[in-house]
Amino acid sequence: MNPPARDAFIAALTKIVGPTHVITDPSMRASYETDWTGRFSGQALAVVRPKNTAQVAAVVSLCGEHGVPLVPQGGNTGLVGGAVPSEGSIVLSTTRLNNVGTVDEVAAQVAVGAGATLAAVQAAVRPRGLDVGVDLASRDSATIGGLIATNAGGERVLRYGSMRRQVVGLEAVLADGTVMKHMTGLTKDNTGYDLVRLFAGSEGTLAIITTVLLQLVPLPAKRTVALIGLADVATAQSVLTGLRLRLPQLTAAELFFDAGLELVREHAGLSAPMPDRHPVYLLVEAADVSDPTDALLFQLEKDVRIRDAVLANDTKGVAALWDYREGHTEAVSALGTPIKLDVAVPAAALPAFIAALPLIIEKVAPEAQMFMWGHLAESNLHVNLVNVNGDADRLTDAVLDIVIRSGGSISAEHGVGRAKAAWLERARSAPELAAMRSIKVALDPRGIFNPGVLFPE
């Protein structure tokens, strides 16, 4: 865009949202232009912060008229570079769309602005004995819009499913500036295509989500967490299988390893959770209206494969045990910019996959250090590689290749973003890709939403 055209465009944006909400100053744009990991960055023409749906619609229409691409951004905690501006785009920040509506206790639903953070929604609904089914460590910054756009998973998928399952209604601004709304909140409604959930996992490529109607879950009054030391991954899987069969209160099952635990302890200054170190750790949480401690203890005590376990059922103790797991992302990032590969493989293939990884990585990048953790119930592993130097693409290729050959997914919960767009073709079949492209073209014929994300440019 030439300078006079750009100035006219910025002036028109300013007219819509007001001068303080069009950010063109490079130093003020900076935090919107680089992702959480520091791996992905771009330069935006401007960052725009609309305060309501009408302003979003006007911004989208204006961008359509000028052919300016739009990158929706919520909390910017995404891990695949999906909210980073592409060349000549504007970042549309949803953080001012942060209204949290009145909780409908009968339907157990709440309407929230797409820019409301998960933590803000949790704070609003928990006093009513309700909760959001999805929870994750980025809760203080991650927004409901971002969580849906990435179909985020997190720590409780085994009990409540991922974000797609929490959404019963939605309002979104389409590429021509029209507002599409389906907010009836009916959990039974078979009148044609499921347009609401189509946006779950769309990564900002189909529309800008502005309001969301969430189906809430009962807030369990009592939580008990156990951190279990084990010999290997296959044993962790087998212990979890028993717990899933016999402990309906089971809410979370997180896997991590000795190297990761030591890194987290060093980074956060935490003491050792148990006297001896173990190769593999399984953190499980049970939650219910009445105290699930006895039920969990009963299952663990009789399992001779458990080398050691610590248990907590008070708020402080539960949080302290979760810190060992939730501290991983931050501790790894403190070592340098990581390559983050969020993958899933079929449960039967998981132990062999984990065993094969160090050899594959050493072959491509002998200097690289690997840390892994994940959500065991979904066989979802976060493979984090640091000290990668110039080998990022080759390493990604090597790891994703074995994932695909194992029958797995190259993105279990973080999305495809820019990081994995080049690999999408290998992950989905030709008819699937054709159907996905048809949807994209139908809803965004001029390709103004998030170019380069999901589909390679």
Q: Binding residues for ligand FAD, per CB under 6 A? A: 36, 71-79, 82-83, 94, 114, 136-138, 141-143, 145-147, 149-150, 152-154, 203-204, 208-209, 329, 413-414, 450, 453
What tokens does 256 get?
A: 């991590």
The nearer residue to ligand FAD, 77 or 409, going by C-beta atoms, is 77
| Concatenated DSSP letters of 59-112 | HHHHHHHHT--EEEESSS--SSSTTSPPTT-EEEE-TT---B---BTTTTEEEE
What would you report as the CA-atom Rg of the chain, rounded to the nearest whole angstrom?
22
Shortest gap between Cβ of 225 and ligand FAD (angstroms)? 16
The nearer residue to ligand FAD, 306 or 385, going by C-beta atoms, is 385
**CA pseudo-torsion sign 139, 142, 144, 149:** negative
Residues 142 and 145: their CA atoms lie apart, in Å, by 8
Cβ neighbours of residue 183 closer than 8 Å, sequence gap 6 or more: 111, 169, 170, 171, 211, 213
**DSSP label at 412?**
S
Residues 78 and 97: their CA atoms lie apart, in Å, by 18
Shortest gap between Cβ of 217 and ligand FAD (angstroms)? 17
Shortest gap between Cβ of 269 and ligand FAD (angstroms)? 18
The nearer residue to ligand FAD, 64 or 74, going by C-beta atoms, is 74
Give the start-end residues of each E strand in 81-221.
90-93, 109-113, 130-131, 167-173, 179-182, 208-215, 217-218
The nearer residue to ligand FAD, 21 or 293, going by C-beta atoms, is 21
**DSSP label at 95?**
T
Query: Looking up tokens 């002036």, which residue turns up?
Result: 11
The nearer residue to ligand FAD, 109 or 117, going by C-beta atoms, is 117
- Residue count (the chain): 457
The nearer residue to ligand FAD, 33 or 413, going by C-beta atoms, is 413
Shortest gap between Cβ of 85 and ligand FAD (angstroms)? 10
Residues 187 and 166: their CA atoms lie apart, in Å, by 11
Q: Is 267 in contact with 293 (CB distance < 8 Å)?
A: no
CA-closest candidate to residue 216, choices 160, 153, 141: 160
Shortest gap between Cβ of 301 and ligand FAD (angstroms)? 30
Residues 418 and 456: their CA atoms lie apart, in Å, by 8
**DSSP label at 270?**
P
The nearer residue to ligand FAD, 201 or 229, going by C-beta atoms, is 201
The nearer residue to ligand FAD, 300 or 424, going by C-beta atoms, is 424
The nearer residue to ligand FAD, 131 or 413, going by C-beta atoms, is 413
Three-point CA angle 117, 123, 126, nearest 5°: 130
Shortest gap between Cβ of 151 and ligand FAD (angstroms)? 8
The nearer residue to ligand FAD, 112 or 226, going by C-beta atoms, is 112
The nearer residue to ligand FAD, 141 or 238, going by C-beta atoms, is 141
- Burial letters for 200-220: b for 16+ Cβ neighbours within 10 Å, e otherwise? bbbbbbbbbbbbbbbbbbebb
Shortest gap between Cβ of 293 and ligand FAD (angstroms)? 25
Stretch (H or E) spanning 293: helix 293-301
3-state helix, strand, coil in the chain (%, to 5): 40, 20, 40
In the complex, residue closest to ligand FAD by CB: 146
Shortest gap between Cβ of 78 and ligand FAD (angstroms)? 3
Helix (H/G/I), strand (E/B), else coil: 346: coil
- Give the residues across from 308 on adjacent strands: 229
Shortest gap between Cβ of 11 and ligand FAD (angstroms)? 25
